[in-house]
């Protein structure tokens, strides 16, 4: 299990819950994400992508990004780069498929417009969140025109609000999942506009179901695996303090089956691996290990 904390790529023994190796890959403020592709661990930073051999912990090299986008997803053995001329919603984006070990560009797909970093790879398709109103683009790797899936979200003429229709997208369990904070759902006091998890049928190209997330005030991230869909978001308490909460959703019934508070670390990230959920708390250097089997 690999995770980045304070600029170090840290290897954790998941059975003993102990750190067994550390590799310095960047300055603490530069590390962005960790992705696995082609048998190599790739650490995305603000200045480049660092490749590390997972067996030896040896740094294999760095691919500079030169300010032209960066990796936003891993899938089918490749890293996927989203490169946009600002603003991303203006229809000037390209999705690059870069193949290990050199990360040479193997394919380029034009994206009508995008919301960075909302990209998910699933089989023969890449799904990209729209940056211009509520929608999701489907790009087929085999070619063809992009297809847009409309999302049943509240619209607003304000550009700052329109760009925030969806927060994250992920694929798994035969569906594509979109996390949003602008879903209108019925409540005892009327209509409530707030966070929701949308399940999209990729075959039909439409939203199949929606789960309002009434206990969250602002959604942050999605993770797929360990028989669950995991939703991370902020919860504001009555005393105006806030904490990061993770909700576990059963993908079959679309019900929240578990929720837990992970603290108030704004830089907290989560991922699924080896049948467990892992949540970082960079402010304290902690890594939370949540056993999916309880």
Task: Please answer whether residues 149 and 207 qualify as being in contact, where contact means their C-beta atoms are separated by less than 8 angstroms.
Answer: yes
DSSP class of residue 157?
Answer: S
Give the pLDDT score at 157: 46
Closest CA to 166 of 156, 178, 157: 178
65-79 average pLDDT score: 76
Taking only the tens place, the pLDDT of each residue in 140-198 is 888 888 888 988 877 554 444 444 567 899 999 999 999 988 888 877 777 878 899 99
pTM of the model: 0.87
* Per-residue pLDDT at 66: 60
Look at residue 266 in the predicted model and tell me its pLDDT. Answer: 85
pLDDT tens string 95-114 = 888 899 888 889 888 887 76
Q: What percent of the chain has pLDDT over 90?
A: 30
| Confidence check: pLDDT of 91 > 60 | no
Q: What is the pLDDT of residue 33?
A: 79
Give the pLDDT confidence score for residue 87 in this predicted structure. Answer: 57
Q: What is the CATH number of domain 1-64?
A: 2.40.10.480
* Residue ranges covered by each domain of the chain: 1-64
Average pLDDT over residues 195-211: 93
Q: Among positive and negative, which fits the CA dihedral 36, 41, 43, 49?
A: negative
Tell me how far apart the terminal alpha carbons of the chain are, to the nearest angstrom: 19
Give the position of tokens 């050199």: 102
């Amino acid at each position: 299990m690999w995770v980045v904390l304070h600029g170090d790529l840290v290897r954790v023994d998941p059975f003993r819950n102990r750190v067994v190796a550390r590799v310095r890959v960047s300055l603490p403020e530069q590390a962005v994400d960790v992705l696995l592709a082609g048998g190599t661990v790739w650490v995305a930073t603000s200045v480049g992508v660092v490749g590390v051999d997972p067996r030896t912990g040896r740094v294999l090299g760095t691919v500079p990004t030169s300010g032209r986008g960066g990796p936003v997803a891993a899938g089918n053995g490749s890293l996927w780069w989203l490169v946009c001329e600002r603003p991303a919603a203006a229809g000037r984006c390209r999705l690059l498929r870069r193949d290990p070990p050199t990360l040479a560009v193997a394919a380029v797909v034009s994206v009508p417009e995008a919301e960075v970093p909302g990209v998910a790879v699933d089989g023969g398709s890449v799904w990209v969140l729209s940056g211009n109103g509520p929608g999701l683009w489907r790009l087929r790797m085999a070619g063809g025109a992009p297809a847009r899936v409309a999302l049943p979200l509240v619209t607003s003429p304000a550009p700052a609000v329109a760009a925030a229709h969806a927060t994250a997208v992920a694929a798994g369990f035969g569906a594509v999942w979109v996390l949003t904070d602008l879903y209108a759902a019925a409540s005892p006091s009327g209509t409530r506009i707030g966070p929701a998890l949308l399940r999209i049928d990729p075959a039909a190209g439409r939203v199949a179901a929606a789960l309002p997330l009434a206990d969250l005030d602002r959604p942050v991230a999605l993770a797929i695996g360990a028989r669950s869909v995991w939703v991370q978001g902020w919860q504001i308490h009555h005393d105006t303090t806030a904490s990061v909460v993770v909700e576990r959703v059963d993908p079959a019934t679309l019900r929240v089956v578990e929720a837990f508070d992970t603290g108030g670390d704004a830089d907290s990230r989560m991922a699924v691996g080896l049948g467990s959920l892992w949540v970082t708390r960079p402010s304290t250097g902690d890594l939370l290990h949540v056993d999916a089997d309880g």
